[in-house]
Amino acid sequence: MQQKGYSRRDFLQFCAAAATVAGFGQTGVAQVVSAFEKKDKPAVVWLHFQECTCCSESFLRASHPIVLDVLLDVLNLNYTETLMAASGFQAEKCLTDTIANNKGKYIVLVEGAVPTKDDGVYCMIGGKTAESILQTVAKDAAAIVAWGSCASNGCVQAAKPNPTGATPIYKLVDKPVINVPGCPPIADVMMGVVTHLLVLGQLPALDSQGRPKEFYGRRVHDTCYRRPNYDAGLFVESFDDENARKGYCLYKMGCRGPVTYNACSVIKWNEGTSYPIQSGHGCIGCSEEGFWDNGPFYQHLASFPGFGIESTADTVGTVVGVATLAGVAAHAVVTNIRKHQVIAEVHAEDLKES
């Protein structure tokens, strides 16, 4: 089990992988920063492909800043099929004008996956395929943000058997892509990414999957207020049983919190109102690649290789299956033991780095 912890070699391999997957070199960073060293509001286009518009809707739910202030004061959102006044060729003109007038300086926000099977006929806008639109728009973009799991990892249409060849954005473009997964992502996480990029003029640090560490660096499980119940072995055994009414841990109800990296249990949803676990349902892991195919949602997870709150997505593989009670108990014990080992390792790595 110790061999599954991470070493310095793993860490360096991760760094290389991160740079490759996310497509960010130093030049990419400089490019984005220079794009915003000007007074004009940055030009932004929002593309819609194979999606359900839940990312757009989530964006509208933002509370700090509210979407109105962002639309009016922070950026020039020149194209979004959900809100824009223009339709038809006037809408297309908004897109082509933005590209022509802001070469290398505009930001592309993509909602949805791109179907690549059968010459891309499964998503067409204005008689053009999603893929051809993506390539045209991405060519001169300063940076690309992939909203939600559809654009980041394919999401529901990419679930087995992925009938239309739904493909995430980073696999199709040779540009920097910031993945902001979730179905949808939390509204204020979306705003956090936008303002990090546009107001600070900085790229957020990303993990190996191109996700901002700022919001995807911690497991839902490790930041969950119900975590002490898990550690104490107090579990909901059936929905709305006595334990559910006491707010015990939902692990046995299939909660994916232990393998899901997201900010739900810290930032929560809709201005901190609640999050799935707080409202009695396990996390379904919607920000993790392939979450639709990680077994039925109400089957709980098998025990994982020991890892503690210091682990990151880069070192923990998702292991899914049917757990036994013994597995749950073992996991709880191992987690606590591992915690100390991992802390020690992280300290050692930090010392080497500095």
**Site track for another protein across 5-24, x = CB under 8 A:** --------------------
- Bridge partners (DSSP) listed for residue 110: 47, 146
- Bridge partners (DSSP) listed for residue 147: 111, 180
Is residue 300 helix, strand or coil? Answer: coil
Q: What is the CB neighbour count within 10 angstroms for residue 320?
A: 19
Which of 351, 296, 341 lies closest to 323, judged by CA?
296
Q: Select the residue interacting with another protein from 12, 15, 124, 200 (CB under 8 A).
A: 124
Residues 248-287 that bind another protein (CB under 8 A): 264, 269-271, 273-281, 284
Q: Select the residue interacting with another protein from 5, 48, 143, 189 (CB under 8 A).
A: 48
Q: Select the residue interacting with another protein from 18, 19, 21, 156 (CB under 8 A).
A: 156
Site size with another protein, rule: CB under 8 A: 98
Kindly tell me which of 244 and 346 has the beta carbon lying closer to another protein. Answer: 244
Q: Does 119 bind another protein (CB under 8 A)?
A: yes
Q: Does 187 bind another protein (CB under 8 A)?
A: yes
Contact 151, 112 (CB under 8 A): yes
Q: Does 330 bind another protein (CB under 8 A)?
A: no
Q: Does 309 bind another protein (CB under 8 A)?
A: no
Long-range contacts of 80-85 (CB under 8 A, 24+ apart): 80/45, 80/46, 80/48, 80/56, 81/46, 81/48, 81/125, 82/46, 82/48, 82/53, 82/56, 83/56
**Site track for another protein across 69-98, x = CB under 8 A:** --xx--xxxx-xxxxxxxxxxxxxxx----
Binding segment for another protein among 19-27, 62-70, 173-181, 306-314 (CB under 8 A)?
A: 62-70
Element (H, E) at 106: strand 106-111
Q: Does 319 bind another protein (CB under 8 A)?
A: no
Q: Distance from first CA to last CA of the chain, Å, rounded?
A: 28
Report, in Å, the least distance between residue 90 CB and another protein.
4
Pairing, β 114-115 against β 166-167 = antiparallel
Q: Does 154 bind another protein (CB under 8 A)?
A: no
Q: Does 231 bind another protein (CB under 8 A)?
A: no
Element (H, E) at 110: strand 106-111
